[in-house]
Structure formats: structure tokens, C-alpha cells
Amino acid sequence: MAVKTRRFIGDKAFYRKLFAVMLPILVQNVITNFVGLLDNIMVGRLGTEQMSGVAIVNQLIFVYALCIFGGISGAGIFTTQFYGSKDDEGVRHTVRVKFYIILIATAVFAAAFLFFGDKLISLFLHEGKEDLDLAATLEYGKQYLAVMVWQALPFAVMQVYSGTLRETGETVVPMFAGITAIFVNLFLNWVFIFGKLGAPALGVEGAALATLIARLVEFSVVVVWAHTHTKRFTYLRGLYKSPKVPGRLLKKIAAKGTPLLLNEVLWASGMTVLNQCYSQRGLEVVSAVNISSTVSNLFFCSFFAMGSTVSIIVGQLLGAGEFERAVDEDRKLVAFSVTLCTLTGIVMAAVAPLIPRIYNTTDAVKSLACELLIVSACMMPLDAFTNASYFTLRSGGKTFITFLFDSGFVWAVCVPVAFVISRFTGIPILPMFIIVRGLDLIKCIIGFILIKKRAWVNNLTVENG
């Protein structure tokens, strides 16, 4: 038993490497989501309709953000492995591919938001038990979206740079830029939402303006720093001298990256559809889910950071051809992630009754938000395992499998169940939420089987010359 247990526990060198990669990502995510929580509370102080309008738009922007993340992640797999094999030109090509992807994605989503924004927001507006103003919620959402659409491109470019820096071993600078931006966002929220320091009180438009400025600050910090440290990151030299990418590599990235792009878009849209199904129970559910999601994201940072850590550590080992070490360290990384997230879930459940009380909303919304938080806390160990499994498969280029495992599961299992319950039964929101979240137990079993088969143990830099 002791021998088997040691297979899941690393030595001091392993944990030094783990924390060196994970902690900057975790700190940035925690601070980002903590300030996001404060941001959400500030908007929530304006009223339930304002908070719901902003929450709906943020759900739509979430789909765009995940599209950017998924689009550049396919190339990012190659970035990590090219860097592991010390191939600067290969890294340079992958960065160019990322730029092509974000420009296309941003143009598509900006057009959708500008021309169909009001219709998309209206999908989430349904009468419930509380007497809330749907027309006012729609108007607040439109005001917020009209400003937020302008932060799309700087956000996407910043993601290219930050993602590439992380994939090549630099996690501190993206963390610093993110921390700087979120405190700028927090301060400007206070100024623009409530009209402090002589500024007009802009409400939800002020919240969007603060976010736009903060994105520009983050973009500037990352890009300027990267291009003033080309001695260290030599792949940045000559990055813009040519737009060309070798056709063979482009085809390989497209083959690996397209499933990832589709996965992120379909997963994010699947989550949006699930929230739309929940919204069938009334606008107060939108508010409660918004509070629950915002608070949950603060605690979910633990398994999100571990997912990125798995991707970076395992990807570099695979790129260096150290297959058995990659398998061994992946097993220990997964075990650590589950342990960490179990403890995080316990803390999350303990504070669940407290945080919703801060919001300026009805008692029914606060009570429901607390119950949803407790359910999410109980799911943390399963979330940790499935997330680590996803990034393990992705690090070895098994992107079609991850596509089926992630978004395929959402659309084939979760969405149909939620749709049927929301449209054809009278089951209340809490049991509906428990049923849908509980389906991830099936996904957990599938992830265990896929990792055990070791089909993800591949060196993509060798495959692509």
C-alpha cells in the first residue's frame, strides 16, 4: 500500500517545479477572480436588474474569450514542445498562427455582438417569481455590451503574448500584468460606476469603461515587456518580419488545433445554453447563478491553475522525449490537483452562506445562490480530475479526443438533460442544477480510462519535423 501511495507523491524537486509553474498562475487567477467578485458586488449594489444585464452580457463575452483561448491553444501545444526542443523558428511560426486565429475570431464575434446583441440578451429574459423588470435588464445589458465590445481585440492580442510567455516558461510577468490590470479595473469601477473624484456616475457603462481601460493597461505591460527582453525570448526576434508559416506545419496545427477551437467554442456555448435553461425558472435565477458563478470562479482557480501546470510540465517533457517521466509526473500532478481541490471545496462550502449576503438583492436570490455554491463545492474533486485529464490529453496532441471528452459530453449529455428538465418538467432550479452537475461523474470515469490508455504520450515536434 505504501509503495502504491508513493506513486502519487513526488519528491522535493517535483514540488519545487510544480509550485514554480503553478503559483504565479494561481495568484494571478485568484486576484483576478477576487477583484472580479468585488466588481460583481459593485454592479450588484446598483440593483438586481443591472446585475442581471451585466451577467448576461458577460456570459456572451465568455463564449468569445473561450474561443480565443481554444483557438490559440492548438498552436500553444506546438509552442510548448518546440520550446522544449529549443526550436525558435518553430515557436515563431506558432505565434503567427495565433495572430491569424484571433483576428478572424474577433471580427466574427464583434459583428455578432454589434448586430445581434439585443436578441442574444433577450434569450435569457424570462418572468419568474420575483417582480423584476425585464425591459430594464435588456437596456442595461445593451449599454454594457456597447462599450465591452471594444476591449475584444486588445484582450485577444494580450492572450497571444501571455499564453506564449507561459508556454515558454515565463509565468510571473503575465501574472504581474494581470494583477496591475485588475486593480486598475477595481479603482476605475469605483470612480465610473458611482461617480467619484468628479467623474459622472455611469452605472453599468462605467463598469464596462473601467474594464476596457484595464485591458489596455494589461496589453501594454505584457507586450512592452516581452519586446524589451528578446535576449531571453529569442523567438520574438523577427516575429513580424514575415507573415509566412510553413504549409506543412500550418496543416498540422490546424489538424490539432481545430478540435480545440471547436471544443472551446462549443463548451462555452454549451455552458451558455445551460444557463439559458436555468433562466427558464425566472430572472432571479439569472442573478443567483451569476452570484454563484462569480464566487465559484474564485475557488475554481485551484483546478484551473493546475490544468495549465499539467499542460506546461507534461508538454515540455513530451517535447524533450522523456515519456516515462511525463507519465509519472502527470500521475502525481493529477493526484495533487484532486487533493488541493478537495480542501478548497471544503472552504468554499463553509463560506457559501456568507458571501451572497453582501449583494443588494432579494432574500430568495441570496438563498438560492448559497445552495448553488454548496453543490459546486461538493463537485470540486470531480472537477479537478476531469480538468487535469483534459489537459493531460491535450498536452500530447489528442485534441479530437479532448473535443469529444469536453464539449462533446456537454452537448450530448448535459444540454439535452437540462433542456428536457427546463422545458418539459416542473422540477425547481436546485434539483435541476444538481442533476446536471452530477452528470460529470460519468465524465470522470471516461477521463480515468483515457489517461490509463496512454495514447496521449506523443512528441509532436518529431511528428512535425
- In angstroms, the Cα distances linking 460 to 284, 310, 396, 465 are 48, 17, 7, 8
**What is the distance in angstroms between the CA of the first residue and the CA of the last residue of the chain?**
43
Confidence band, pLDDT 50/70/90 cuts, at residue 417: very high
| Segment 132-189, tens digit of pLDDT | 678 888 999 999 999 999 999 999 999 999 989 988 888 788 888 888 888 898 899 9
Domain count, the chain: 1
Does a structural domain hold residue 3?
no
Q: Is the pLDDT of residue 315 over 50?
A: yes
| Segment 193-204, tens digit of pLDDT | 999 999 999 999
* Count of C-beta atoms within a 10 Å radius of residue 420: 12
Confidence band, pLDDT 50/70/90 cuts, at residue 375: very high
Give the per-residue pLDDT at 127: 67
Give the per-residue pLDDT at 78: 85
Please name the residue that has the C-alpha cell 440593483: 47
Does a structural domain hold residue 224?
yes
Give the per-residue pLDDT at 465: 43
Average pLDDT over residues 66-93: 83
Q: Is the pLDDT of residue 3 over 60?
A: no
Higher pLDDT, 360 or 205: 205
Give the per-residue pLDDT at 348: 94
Percent of the chain topping pLDDT 70: 95
C-alpha 18/C-alpha 315 separation (Å) is 13
Q: Is the pLDDT of residue 455 over 90?
A: no
Confidence band, pLDDT 50/70/90 cuts, at residue 128: low
432 with 418: CB under 8 angstroms?
yes
CA angle 421-424-430, nearest 5°?
30
Query: 363-378 vs 283-319: helix axis angle to the nearest 10?
Result: 30
Q: What is the residue-averaged pLDDT of the chain?
A: 87
Give the per-residue pLDDT at 74: 80
| Segment 216-227, tens digit of pLDDT | 999 999 999 999
What range defines the domain where residue 61 resides?
Answer: 9-456
Average pLDDT over residues 344-349: 94
- The DSSP element (H or E) to which 276 belongs, if any, is helix 247-279
Does a structural domain hold residue 2?
no
C-alpha 303/C-alpha 298 separation (Å) is 11
Closest of 357, 354, 347 to residue 378, by C-alpha: 347
Q: Is the pLDDT of residue 283 over 60?
A: yes
What are the two backbone dihedrals, phi and then psi, of residue 149, each rounded to the nearest 5 degrees? -65, -25
Return the C-alpha cell found at 374: 454548496
